[in-house]
C-alpha cells in the first residue's frame, strides 16, 4: 500500500458506547500528506429516536453549546449519510482500503464499525491517531497542545490536523 492521501474523520455522538449511543454528526477531510485539504464532507444525522435519555451531562452541554442539538431536526438519515460517505470515499480513493486519521480515532472507528458497516468495510485496519503523538509529546518532550474543543466535527478535524503539525514541528518529525 502506497499512502498518498488521508481520510480525516470525526464523529459527534450522544456518548461513548456504540451499542447504545448514536452518531449525531460526521465530517471528513481528504488531505495529501502535507495536510492540504483536497475535499471535505459534513453531515448532521437526524436521530430516529428521542436522544434526551442518551445524552450524558457532558454531551448535552457540549452539543448544546456548539449548536449541534438545534440542527438535528434538519439532518439526514443515518443510512443516507453512510451512502454519501461511501460515495465520497470512492470518489477520492477508488476501491483501495482507506487509512483514516483523527484524534482518538479508535472511538470513531468503533461507531463506524457498529453503525456504518458498509463504510467500515472500505477502511484499512491501520489508522493515524493524533492522540498517540500527544502521549509521546507530553511524556517525553513536555509538549502540550491547547485545544479549542469546539465539539463540531469539521472544526475538530482541523484542530487534529493543526495538532499533528504542532507535534511534527516541535518533535522534529517533519523532514523537508
Dump pLDDT digits (tens) for 55-108: 988 899 999 999 999 999 999 999 999 999 999 999 999 999 999 999 999 999
> Are 82 and 122 spatial neighbours (Cβ–Cβ below 8 Å)?
no
DSSP-derived 3-state class of residue 26: strand
Q: What is the pLDDT of residues 106-160, one digit of tens each?
A: 999 999 999 999 999 999 999 999 999 999 999 999 999 998 877 799 999 999 9
CA dist list (Å): 142 to 62, 102, 131, 135, 156:
28, 21, 15, 10, 23
Torsion of CA 59, 62, 67, 69, to 10 degrees: 10
Under DSSP, the state recorded for 72 is G
Query: Is the pLDDT score of 18 beyond 60?
Result: yes
Positions marked catalytic? 125
91 CB neighbour count, 10 Å cutoff: 11
Taking the C-alpha atoms of residue 37 and residue 39, their distance in angstroms, rounded to an integer, is 6
Write down the pLDDT at residue 173. Answer: 66
Write down the pLDDT at residue 175. Answer: 54
> Are 68 and 24 spatial neighbours (Cβ–Cβ below 8 Å)?
yes
> Are 1 and 124 spatial neighbours (Cβ–Cβ below 8 Å)?
yes
Domains and CATH numbers, the chain: 5-170 (3.30.420.10)
Of 12, 20, 104, 18, nearest in space to 67 by CA: 12
* The three cell numbers locating residue 89: 470515499
Global pTM reads 0.93
Amino acid at each position: 500500500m502506497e499512502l498518498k492521501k488521508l481520510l480525516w474523520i470525526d464523529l459527534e455522538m450522544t456518548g461513548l458506547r456504540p451499542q447504545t449511543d448514536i452518531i449525531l454528526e460526521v465530517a471528513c477531510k481528504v488531505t495529501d500528506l502535507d495536510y492540504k485539504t483536497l475535499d471535505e464532507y459534513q453531515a448532521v444525522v437526524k436521530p430516529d429516536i428521542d436522544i434526551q435519555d442518551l445524552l450524558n451531562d457532558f454531551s448535552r452541554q457540549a452539543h448544546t453549546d456548539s449548536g449541534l442539538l438545534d440542527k438535528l431536526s434538519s439532518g439526514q438519515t443515518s443510512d443516507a449519510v453512510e451512502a454519501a460517505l461511501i460515495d465520497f470515499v470512492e470518489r477520492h480513493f477508488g476501491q483501495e482500503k482507506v487509512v483514516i486519521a483523527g484524534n482518538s480515532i479508535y472511538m470513531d472507528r468503533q461507531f463506524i464499525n457498529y453503525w456504518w458497516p458498509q463504510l467500515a468495510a472500505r477502511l484499512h485496519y491501520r489508522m493515524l491517531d493524533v492522540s498517540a503523538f500527544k502521549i509521546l509529546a507530553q511524556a517525553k518532550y513536555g509538549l502540550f497542545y491547547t485545544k479549542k474543543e469546539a465539539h463540531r466535527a469539521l472544526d475538530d478535524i482541523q484542530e487534529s490536523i493543526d495538532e499533528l503539525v504542532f507535534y511534527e514541528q516541535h518533535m522534529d518529525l517533519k523532514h523537508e
